[in-house]
Amino acid sequence: MVNDFNVLKEEAAVYHACLKKQVSDGMVIYNENALTVMRRILDKHPNGCFDMIFADPPYLLSNDGFTCQNGQMVSVNKGNWDKSKGLTADLEFYEEWLRLCYALLKPNGTIWVCGTYHNIYLIGYLMQTIGYHILNNITWEKPNPPPNLSCRFFTHSTETLLWAKKDKKAKHTFHYDVMKAQNGDKQMKCVWQIAPPNKLEKIFGKHPTQKPLALVERCIQAASNIDDLIFDPFMGSGTTGVAAVQNGRKFCGCEMEKEFFELAIKRLSAK
């Protein structure tokens, strides 16, 4: 694994002149399209190099609708990166990065993928088509979700994380005892109530779809080991990187939007 990470560092140095990178001890992050980066890494690592992947992809929900935030009606639009191009194009996008992630995972590696009912069923179908074996369907329950403005259906208060390995027979990592200890010495269930990111997690700025550090940390602590190499193809404000570094893992991430890449650098530099 150390050799894999050193190769990534060397590749980052080679491309530094033309592509924005940030390289430091135990970390390589790219301000670039994830698909481009993954293809380039795959050329160097045809058998995979990542022990765990945490993917929080665009949900493609910026459709000019409205939601409630701090008691006020606000637009759901987050940026062009979150706009749907139609079901067929969306499916092609999801399938491409899921196939690349599959190829880049080590044989016993696992992947976590976030979503809501808008996209998680499509993702789950594609994952099984590609060959992933789904281990768990985790329901992340938000204790204080935004209210439903239309009052015509139930309030959306959860998101889903699919946890999967490359093959049913793969010997994946799961720290059962660690999770049990965190849950009052009882088996941890697949419904997790975790609050949204707090003010300290947004001290350098915020990402519109930022995940709470506690959520990502739990995934990393459950499914990876010290010094493992964690990858996040859509790292946003760098939460996965912060969780990885704070827990003794190495990190590789991609963020296409310059604003969020620079925010991630600030957060990761403060660790």
- State pTM to two decimals: 0.88
The domain locations on the chain are 2-262
- The phi and psi torsions of 186 (rounded to 5 degrees) equal -125, 150
Q: Mind giving me the DSSP string for 191-247?
A: EEE-PPP-GGGGTT---TTPPPHHHHHHHHHHH--TT-EEEETT-TTTHHHHHHHHT
Q: Is 3 helix (H, G, I), strand (E, B) or coil?
A: helix
Mean pLDDT of 97-110: 98
List the single range of 148-157, 221-230, 236-245 with lowest mean pLDDT. 148-157
Tell me the residue ranges of DSSP E strands in 5-49. 21-24, 27-30
Per-residue model confidence as pLDDT tens digits over 164-194: 999 999 999 999 999 999 999 999 999 999 9
Spatial neighbors of 173 by CB under 8 A, at least 6 apart, are 51, 52, 108, 110, 223, 224, 225, 228
Q: Which residue's structure tokens are 């010997």?
A: 171
pLDDT at 67: 53
pLDDT at 14: 46
Residue 197: pLDDT over 60: yes
Per-residue pLDDT band at 85 (split at 50, 70, 90): confident
Distance between CA atoms of 164 and 53, rounded to whole angstroms?
A: 10
Per-residue model confidence as pLDDT tens digits over 16-64: 444 566 777 789 999 999 999 999 999 999 999 999 999 999 987 755 4
Mean pLDDT of 199-210: 91
Per-residue pLDDT band at 2 (split at 50, 70, 90): low
Residue 228: pLDDT over 70: yes
Residue 147: pLDDT over 90: no
pLDDT at 1: 55
Residue 129: pLDDT over 80: yes
Topology adopted by domain 2-262: Rossmann fold (3.40.50)
pLDDT at 60: 72
Residue 206: pLDDT over 50: yes
